[in-house]
Amino acid sequence: MTGSPLATHAPRAVREALREGGWDPVRADAAAAGLAPAAVRLAGLPPTTLEALRRHATATLGLEVLTGPGWAVVAGSRARLSALARPWGGPPELAEVAVAVGLALPAEPPAAWVTARGPLPLERPVLVGILNVTPDSFSDGGRWAAPAQALARAEALLEAGAVLLDVGGESTRPGRPAPVPAAEERRRVVPVVEEIVRRFPAALVSVDTMKAEVARAALGAGAAAVNDVSGGRLDPEMAPAVASAGAGLVVMHSRGTGETLAGYDLADYGGDVVGTVVAELRERVDAAVAAGVEPDRIVVDPGLGFAKTPAQSLALLDRLSALLALGRPILVGPSRKRFLGEATGRDVGDRDRATAAACALAWDRGARLFRVHEPDAVRDALALAAALDGAG
């Protein structure tokens, strides 16, 4: 008889052991996912509910339950936590607990993101190249503002591995000046989108904007998706505009107005930045769906660096898998952000190595789309991360 340790930080070790033992891949994948560890924090629990939870979760389901006044942390395998998430399967007094646990558990990640130009497969990392056609972006301020420069940069991004080009005509950098008028933003963005679509028909284009007027114009010019860093908060017409075009929508978490998005004034999350971001993103996703955007056209973004301190951004990166509970693909945009500079001591122009590391860590935690300034600098890191996961 022999015993071999299996790594538990990801389900792939168990998955491979089951496959080697003769299980078919589908059954092995499902069983390995069910054995993966998971934990849920519950708050606002009355004493009677806490006691019922302790009895049912430990004695009946074999879960670990750690408690304090009004709260509990329930941990165990996903399969056992899924059993707790069935309102019909436990005591009536735990029905609300079951719903809360079900909403917090990771969902099966979608295999594709549907855009106005068809589905974008997500089995492998998707590199999103940043193309700022602004005179004042925080990293490449004004280098690609002229149309000819923008098109040359678009070609370079595609050659470096970008699948999607994210064209933005308004900076969201800290301390930016007054908002750019919609007409000026359209003037910067739309001709570039049109020319990219014409010259590189295989490429997908998204428009980085908070204004429905700009989104409509860019979608009409051939863009496949909209990347709204306000998550649809600042323009109530954004979601209807996306829905009417059948476009994809990136819903990013942020707080505040266009002038305060990147600051720290609204970075109070009551000690739970991850849980609060998930809850606020869920509200924005639900609002987009209510406005007509189909769920399979929505991607979520935790908004690293937006109304988040460096420590909070690092916490979100580390616990990114919590966003899987939203059931939507995850996009991350760590590229050259301040929290990478805080961690490494590097200036903004020397953070591509840290960006690559952040993207590889994000892939392992569930992200599938990666918005970066230099795709070539992160492509190998993501290829290795995907290969370790069996997707390379």
CA distances from 295 to 105, 248, 253, 330 (A): 18, 10, 17, 13
Residue 195: other Cβ atoms inside 10 A: 17
| pLDDT level of residue 109 (50, 70, 90 thresholds) | confident
Instruction: Using the predicted structure, report yes or no on whether residue 144 has a pLDDT greater than 60.
Output: no
Token pair for 270:
């009551």
CATH of domain 112-388: 3.20.20.20
Percent of the chain's residues with pLDDT above 90:
80
> What pLDDT does 145 receive?
57
Q: What is the pLDDT averaged over residues 202-214?
A: 97
- Provide the pLDDT confidence category of residue 392 given band limits of 50, 70 and 90: very low
Among candidate residues 186, 173, 380, 192, the one with its CA nearest the CA of residue 258 = 173
**Ranges of each domain in the chain:** 36-104, 112-388
Q: Residue 2: how many CA atoms within 13 Å on its side-chain side?
A: 3
pLDDT number for residue 176: 59
Supply the pLDDT for residue 29: 86
Looking at the chain, the whole-number percentage of residues with pLDDT higher than 70 is 93
* Range with lowest mean pLDDT among 27-31, 277-281, 368-372: 27-31
What mean pLDDT comes out for the span 75-95? 93
Contact 202, 213 (CB under 8 A): no
Is 19 tagged catalytic?
no
Please give the average per-residue pLDDT across 274-290, as a whole number.
Answer: 97
Q: What is the pLDDT of residue 137?
A: 54
Of 20-24, 107-111, 198-202, 233-237, the poorest mean pLDDT is in 107-111
Average pLDDT for 80-109: 92
Distance CA 138, CA 339 (A): 14
Q: Which amino acid is at 330?
A: I
pTM: 0.93
Which residue out of 337, 338, 351, 365 is catalytically annotated?
A: 337
> Three-state DSSP class for 162?
coil
Q: Do 298 and 289 touch, CB atoms closer than 8 A?
A: yes
227 vs 6, which has greater pLDDT?
A: 227
Mean of pLDDT values over 170-185: 80
**Secondary structure (DSSP) of 56-107:** IIIIIT--EEEEETTEEEEEEEHHHHHHHT-GGGS-GGGHHHHHHHHHHSPP
- Summarised one tens digit per residue, pLDDT across range 215-265 is 999 999 999 999 999 999 999 999 999 999 999 999 999 999 888 888 899
Q: Which of 117-127 are b and which e, b meaning 16 or more Cβ less than 10 Å from the residue's Cβ?
A: beebebebbbb
Q: What is residue 331's DSSP assignment?
A: E
pLDDT at residue 11, as a whole number: 78
Quote the CA–CA distance of 333 and 386 in Å, as a whole number.
Answer: 18
- In angstroms, what CA-CA distances link 345 with 76, 171, 228, 349, 351? 38, 24, 30, 12, 9
- Judge whether 337 counts as a catalytic residue: yes
pLDDT of residue 57: 95
Q: What CATH code is assigned to 36-104?
A: 3.30.70
Flag whether pLDDT at 365 surpasses 90.
yes
Select the more confidently predicted residue: 13 or 367.
367
The alpha carbon of residue 75 and the mean position of all alpha carbons in its chain are separated, in whole angstroms, by 24
Point out the catalytic residue in the list 15, 80, 338, 371.
371
For the beta carbon of residue 37, count every other beta carbon within 10 angstroms.
12
Residue 262: its pLDDT value, please?
Answer: 85
pLDDT class for 175, splitting at 50, 70, 90?
low
